[in-house]
Amino acid sequence: MKLARILVPALAALVMSTQVAAEPFKVGYLRVRDDAQAIAAFEGGFSKNHGLDVQLVEFKSGTDLIKAIVGGQLDTGVLGFTNAASWSSRGADLKVVGGAQHGYHAIVVRDDSNIKTVADLKGRTLASQKEGSTADTVLRGVVLKDAGLQASDLNIMGVSPQVAVQSLVGSRVDAAFLFEPQASIAKLVAPVTEIYEIGEVWPFPCMVVITSGETLSKNKEGVWASMDAQREAIELLKSNPDEGAKLIASYFIAEPTLKTLKNGEIPREKVISDAIASQTFSPILTPEELARMQEIADIMQEQGALKTRDGSPFEVKSIVDLSWQEARKL
């Protein structure tokens, strides 16, 4: 009996500690190539190598993903910076802890639309992302503004990238503002031409890694291990797009091959590899990128999409925590 009184609590404690250790580290992502680092870190075993039992959780929108972080259902997520800014301005305890992918978003137009420039979009229908998203913010505040247009000058449809591509194929829209790999896929499956790429004229950190202040405080080791894994995944994507594509291609193209308009069927890995190679990934945030993020926040305030409680300017630095990259001397 005495031995049992000693062993039973000890065994119970061991079981509890095992259960705690086995609790998955939940990473939210969107099914866009901008989130490739999170997917590759999982599929390539990088997260496991850093001691994490990662569970990838897919979301249909950045808004839903950020809600899950705020609500404690996720540990981290890769998504657009504007979501973190908007929610933080309303009091949410969020932290941007690292970089992901730079803003490469192309405008592709149907060949029968006779659209040659961004200004030609006036009076036309353009498929983009949901209003308030990072893509929508720069579309309205940078792309259209630089072309002398307002959002009201055209019909903007807020849809998923997949629906945008289908809309181009079905002639339901004249143009679309797309990131990868949907921009590349659209050019292969629809009669479209690219007329604009914002990454070439106004580069910005589109996707970032976000967590909650509470998660960072309670599980900094887990967050940092996740960042280490994603950094290694980024290095693979940059140095060997072909290998990276093998890890992530099935997330974006269901069938082994993609049927194109002019080139027959192309292996999905080839499509995704080319899309990866055309982009810029970075696990860190530079001073220049932080300054561009502040510009985006200022645009959001001008648009009324971001409102602080006292009406003061929103300070991006208030939600950025660069302790991981500083500790890693990146």
Higher pLDDT: 2 or 260? It is 260
The rounded percent of the chain whose pLDDT value lies above 90 is 73
Task: Quote the pLDDT of residue 22.
Answer: 58
CA dist 75 and 213 (Å) reads: 10
Taking alpha carbons only, the member of 171, 204, 193, 195 closest to residue 119 is 195
CA dist 143 and 297 (Å) reads: 16
Task: Quote the pLDDT of residue 165.
Answer: 96
Mean pLDDT of 280-304: 93
Higher pLDDT: 118 or 136? It is 118
Q: Quick one: pLDDT band at residue 309, thresholds 50, 70, 90?
A: confident
Q: Which CATH superfamily is domain 23-102+205-327 in?
A: Periplasmic binding protein-like II (3.40.190.10)
Mean pLDDT of 304-319: 89
Global confidence as pTM: 0.87
Mean pLDDT of 277-295: 92
Cβ burial of 253 (10 Å; 0-12, 13-18, 19+) is middle
Say whether pLDDT at 311 is over 70. yes
Cβ burial of 263 (10 Å; 0-12, 13-18, 19+) is exposed
Say whether pLDDT at 77 is over 50. yes
Say whether pLDDT at 15 is over 60. no
pLDDT tens column, 174-233: 999 998 889 999 999 999 999 999 989 998 888 899 999 999 999 999 999 999 999 999
Say whether pLDDT at 20 is over 50. no
Q: State the Cα torsion 5-8-9-15 to the nearest 10°.
A: 170
CATH code for the structural domain at 106-201: 3.40.190.10
- At a CB cut-off of 8 Å and minimum separation 6, what does 84 contact? 66, 94, 95, 96, 208, 210, 319
Q: Quick one: pLDDT band at residue 18, thresholds 50, 70, 90?
A: very low
CA dist 48 and 39 (Å) reads: 13
Q: Quick one: pLDDT band at residue 168, thresholds 50, 70, 90?
A: very high
Task: Quote the pLDDT of residue 260.
Answer: 95
Instruction: Give span(s): CATH 3.40.190.10, the chain.
Output: 23-102+205-327, 106-201
Residue type, 193: T
Task: Quote the pLDDT of residue 142.
Answer: 95
Task: Quote the pLDDT of residue 230.
Answer: 96
pLDDT tens column, 81-109: 898 999 999 889 999 999 988 878 999 99
pLDDT tens column, 36-69: 999 999 999 999 999 999 999 999 888 899 999 9
